[in-house]
Amino acid sequence: MNPLPTTPAGRLRLAALAAAVAAALALAACSKGDARAAAGEQHAEQAGAQKDEDHEAGEHALALSRDEAERAGIRVEPAGTQAAAATVVVTATIQPDPDRLARVAPRIEGRITAAPAKLGERVRAGQVLATLDSVAVGEAHAAWAQAQAELRIAEADLERAKLLAADEIIARKDFVRAQAERDKAAATLRAAADRLRLLGGRPGAGGSTSGFVLTAPFAGTVIAKKATLGDLAGPSEPLFTIADLSRVWIQADLPEAALAKVRVGARATLGVPAYPGETFDGRVGYVGAVLDKDTRTVPARIEVANADGRLKPEMFATAAIEAAGGTAAQAAQAISLPDAAIVLLEGRPTVFVFDAGAYEPREVDPGERFGGRTLLKGGVQAGEQVVVAGAYALKARKLKSQLGHGH
């Protein structure tokens, strides 16, 4: 064992060495502590991140008690499939059949004295719509009355001539002349009566001789009325529009790409917003021959029976037309949900899927809408429990929870 240095220089070196060793040991201990601290911090961060992920995942779903769900009107059904048949779906408007549409106007100018027909009223053929007063009708009625009187005189002259001719008191030619005068008077009366009817008057009618009536040309519904008592009306302004709405036309514009798929006589199914969930059957009656150069569409007409009058002119509609060559066997299956099941959440189409006691918002890809239902291209699997009623209540709760968390 080496003896400790006794000289001042040796003792100084020994002290310096001891200080260096002590510093090294202290540094090592500090580094080990920092490592343990860093490991602890990393573990805490990982735990916090996992907690945040779990919290964020939990935020997507909404948990409601049974009572809360009932009060909100929430109803859940399994997502079902529907045959997405080979169809061409177009928007359309309902119009009256032009062949069963009449705009009724007076043939001559006259002042309206009565207008009993009401807007929306169903009228029968020949029913009086309005009564007017006209000088021309008065003159025509006077001419008819005069012709009638002249005919009576001519008939009396003929009877007298017949008796005189039988007794050979007058010549045969005088009897023939009396017959001719009677025939002439009868023709004049017929012409006067025809003119009176043409103007709207009625030969032999009581009351005002200058009055005439407008009548319904066929049974139908009054869909427009512009008759006001005291107004002066003429041939250029129809006072009533009558439409037979027992059959209506659905006017649609077919895109150019769909022309090869649509044929006259093809079946069509119609849906209107006024009757969600209901459909009406019809057939394509006409496909236009000329393409609109601006819209690149062709007009088409679907004829639909409307005996109960539920389909109204100018209603918007959606028509699904059976595509040429399409069969049920070729139809694909797609998820079908009621329109009310889909809401916009943060601008994206969303449904709520019920799973494990909670309602999870699920973004979907909607396709064709028809008859109050929407076919989905993706986002939901068949059999999943989807909220079909009360989705808007869940949307409101979701937005409220996001505001509460400052999202």
**pLDDT 10s digits, 292-323:** 999 999 999 999 999 999 999 999 999 989 88
Q: In what order do the strands lie in the sheet with 373-378?
A: 80-84, 332-338, 373-378, 365-370
Q: For 282-294, what is the HEC assignment?
A: EEEEEECCCCCCC
Measured distance CA(348)–CA(379) in Å, rounded: 12
pLDDT tier at 401 (50, 70, 90 boundaries)?
confident
Instruction: Work out the average pLDDT over 130-156.
Output: 91
Which contacts of 100-103 are long-range, i.e. CB under 8 A and separated by 24 or more positions?
100/218, 100/220, 100/243, 100/244, 100/247, 101/241, 101/242, 101/243, 101/244, 102/216, 102/217, 102/218, 102/220, 102/241, 102/242, 102/243, 103/238, 103/240, 103/241
Measured distance CA(48)–CA(50) in Å, rounded: 5
pLDDT of residue 315: 95
The one-letter code for the residue type at 81 is T
pLDDT tier at 128 (50, 70, 90 boundaries)?
very high
pLDDT digits (tens, 9 = 90+) for 332-359: 677 888 888 899 988 899 999 998 888 9
Instruction: Work out the average pLDDT over 58-65.
Output: 73
Measured distance CA(369)–CA(87) in Å, rounded: 12
pLDDT of residue 297: 94
Query: Residue 102 pLDDT > 90, yes or no?
Result: yes
pLDDT digits (tens, 9 = 90+) for 376-395: 888 988 889 999 998 898 88
Which contacts of 142-147 are long-range, i.e. CB under 8 A and separated by 24 or more positions?
142/209, 143/192, 143/195, 143/196, 144/189, 144/192, 144/193, 144/195, 144/196, 144/203, 145/209, 146/192, 147/185, 147/188, 147/189, 147/191, 147/192, 147/193
pLDDT tier at 51 (50, 70, 90 boundaries)?
very low
pLDDT of residue 127: 96
- Which domains are assigned to the chain? 60-84+332-404 (2.40.420.20), 87-97+245-330 (2.40.30.170), 99-131+214-243 (2.40.50.100), 135-209 (1.10.287.470)
pLDDT of residue 39: 44
Instruction: Work out the average pLDDT over 94-98.
Output: 94
pLDDT of residue 205: 66
- Judge if pTM exceeds 0.75: no
- The closest alpha carbon to 252, from 305, 298, 314, belongs to 298
Query: Residue 52 pLDDT > 60, yes or no?
Result: no
